[in-house]
A = this chain, B = another copy of it.
Amino acid sequence: MKLGINTYGKNAINLSKIIRHADHHEFRQISVSVQLTGDFDAVHTHGDNSTVLPTDTQKNTVYALAKEHFTGTIEEFGLHLAHFFVTRNPQISQARISIEEHSWQRMQFDGQAHTHAFTGGSTEKRTTVVTQNAEGPVVLSGLKDLLLLKTTDSGFENFIQDEYTVLKETADRILATQCEATWEYTATALDFEALFQQIRTSLLRTFSEHKSLSVQHTLYSIGEKILQEQEVVKEVSLIMPNKHHIPFNLEQFGLENKNEIFVATDAPFGYITGTVVRD
């Protein structure tokens, strides 16, 4: 027997930071996960811990480095952390830093932005995964748990009919999804903030404007648009579960359901994933 693929690290390092400016505060909240890969055979086979950087130390390192180095985007902080772990530890061949950022919105009153009060609570998280090994760092950025819904311009027709088909074809249905998007950059010295905002807007705009013939059709359309607009993006991966809203059968009560009353269900759900790449 021998050790195959393996990794270890600290997950769910929940860190928040106040960045104090002269006339206002920024507030940032992230969850960092560190995963290290390397020559750890003896750790597993003989309990030899001499090469183990404890996960507790990894956590402390994240908090300590956040003071000076978490000042901008999560991508920049991830790059710093990955570089730090790999260059300080020869036994580590790869560090993978995954960061999720929770969104906090500055409160607004009478059109004025408040200096230090915020509302949170969006399910949407901004994400990055920075992986650094001998070939250098690679940055993936993305978002997850973004709830999208449109009430028309979506249909699903002309699919296979067999003896287990019950679903009715429809030219007008609700399309809803809890979108997760990830895109890989071709470089690491980028304006990650501007790129994120542009790509997120592009995603929303394509979702809203697309005449959807299926979830797959919309998924591809979003990925294609992002690649067309952003030269520094190598490929786009999307996970778009189909959050079904099913017309409720009002006819059984003598009422007509003109595509207006729906049952929102959690399970089962369609699960659609795809990656759009360059030719």
Contacts and interface: CB of A to CB of B under 8 A. Distances in A.
Interface of A: 1-20, 25, 27, 29, 33, 35, 40, 43-57, 59-61, 63-64, 66-67, 88-89, 104, 107, 109, 114, 116-124, 145-153, 156-160, 162-167, 174, 178, 201, 204-205, 207-208, 212-217, 219-220, 223-224, 227-228, 235, 237, 241-242, 245, 248, 250, 252-255, 257-279
A178 B3 CA distance: 21
A175 to B, nearest CB: 9
A51 B266 contact: no
A114 B161 CA distance: 35
The 4 closest A-B pairs by CB, nearest first: A47-B213, A117-B208, A120-B147, A6-B274
A50 B19 CA distance: 32
14 contacts: A4-B235, A6-B216, A17-B262, A19-B260, A55-B270, A57-B160, A57-B165, A63-B250, A63-B263, A109-B208, A117-B150, A117-B151, A117-B207, A163-B254
A275 to B, nearest CB: 4
A181 to B, nearest CB: 14
A6 B107 contact: no
A267 B156 CA distance: 26
A267 B167 contact: no
A6 B217 CA distance: 12
A8 B63 contact: no
